[in-house]
Structures are given as structure tokens and as C-alpha cells.
Amino acid sequence: MKRIVSLTVNGRRREDAVADDLLLIDYLRELAGLTGTKRGCDGGECGACTMLLDGEPALACLTLAARCEGRQIETIESLAANGRLNRLQQAFHEKLGTQCGYCTPGMIMAAEGLLRREPHPSEAEIREALSGNLCRCTGYVKIIESVQAASGDAS
């Protein structure tokens, strides 16, 4: 079955006809053309698809698009304003928090959710906020340092 959903994606209202069984990750990547949100596993294991749903980090691969009526979705594409990277993107770039880059959109969106709630998180809070996001390249240390740098708390 298809239904019309209206939702906000990266600040823009959209209205689309979506099938009941369409996952938000496919909605974002295929329908909205926003491929920044990555698919790293077959469901809920890796965090690569993390985006913000009403400001809270959530997994696009375990979310039904048809249930997003009236909700606010923010993806990695929303962060840079006027061609300028936001503080997390800039910090991941400078502190080598990104290598192959596949986990990076999910990492940054999880960290963005954290910094909005807690602008100066402790290292333990950063680790907890990123604990659902896997990275196969960096070994995580540089990622944590990047988040610390973005919060202005670099050591």
C-alpha cells in the first residue's frame, strides 16, 4: 500500500507517496537523492545510517518512511551552510577523524545529536554517544579527538 507522507528533510518540507514497507534509508537515498546517509549492514548493526529524527540520533535502516509523517529529519547534507563545513565536519577533517569516510556521516550525526544536548561532553559521554557506530579504519581515537575539538575541549 502507498500513502502520502509530508515531512521535513533538512529544513525543507516534502510530500511523497511512499509504500508502507519503504525504509527511511531508501526514501532518503533513492527518493530524496540524499546519498550521504550510508548503508553499512543489513539492519541495525553498524550505525552508518544514523541521522537525526526530531533532533535525536536514530537509524534510518530501521525506520519506516510511512511513520515519519510530520517529523523532522536531518542528514549529513544539512550541516554545511553556504559551503562552509560545520564544526564537527571541520574537526573530523583537521583531526583525521575520517579515513575511508564510510562511517563518517553516521559518526558526525551521532556526535551532532550529542553536542546539541551536551555542548561540552566528557570523553565517556562521547564514547557512549558513538557506541552504536562502527568504524573499520580509524581505531576510534581520532574520532573521539575530533568530537572533543569540535566541542572546543581538545586536549
Partner 1 sequence: MQVLNGFVLRRPASIAEAAALLADPGARALAGGTDLLANLRHGLDRPATLVDLTGLAGLDKLDWADTGVAIGAIVTVARLARDPRVIAELPALAQAARSIAGPGHRSAATVGGNLCLDTRCVYYNQSEAWRRSNGYCLKREGDVCHVAPQGTRCHAAYSGDLAPVLLALDAQAEIASPAGGRRSPLGELYRDDGAQHLTLGRGEFVIAVHVPAPAPGVRMAYRKSRPRGAIDFPLAGVAVALAASDGRIESLRVALSGTNTHPRLLEGTGELAGQAIDNALFARLGKLVQKQVSPMRTTVTPANYRRQVASALAQRLVKELAGVS
Ligand X SMILES: Cc1cc2nc3c(=O)[nH]c(=O)nc-3n(C[C@H](O)[C@H](O)[C@H](O)COP(=O)(O)OP(=O)(O)OC[C@H]3O[C@@H](n4cnc5c(N)ncnc54)[C@H](O)[C@@H]3O)c2cc1C
| Contacts to ligand X by CB under 6 A | 44-45
In the list 23, 61, 73, 111, the residue contacting ligand FES (rule: CB under 6 A) is: 61
Could you tell me the smallest distance in angstroms from the CB atom of residue 117 to ligand FES? 21
| DSSP H or E segment with residue 8 | strand 2-9
Residue 123 binding: pick among ligand X, ligand FES, partner 1, none (C-beta 5-8 Å cut-off by kind):
none
Residue 48 binding: pick among partner 1, ligand FES, ligand X, none (C-beta 5-8 Å cut-off by kind):
ligand FES
DSSP per-residue letters across 17-59: EEETT-BHHHIIIIIS--TTS---SSSSSS-TTEEEETTEEEE
Backbone angles phi, psi at 6, to 5 degrees: -115, 130
Contact 105, 49 (CB under 8 A): no
Q: Is 142 exposed, middle or buried (0-12, 13-18, 19+ CB in 10 A)?
A: middle
Residue 103 binding: pick among ligand X, ligand FES, partner 1, none (C-beta 5-8 Å cut-off by kind):
ligand FES
Contact track, ligand FES, 81-120, x by CB under 6 A: -----------------xxxxxxx----------------
Contact 37, 74 (CB under 8 A): no
Which residues of this chain interact with partner 1, rule CB under 8 A?
A: 1, 19-23, 26, 29-30, 42-45, 47, 50, 53, 56-59, 62-64, 66-67, 110, 113, 128-129, 131-133
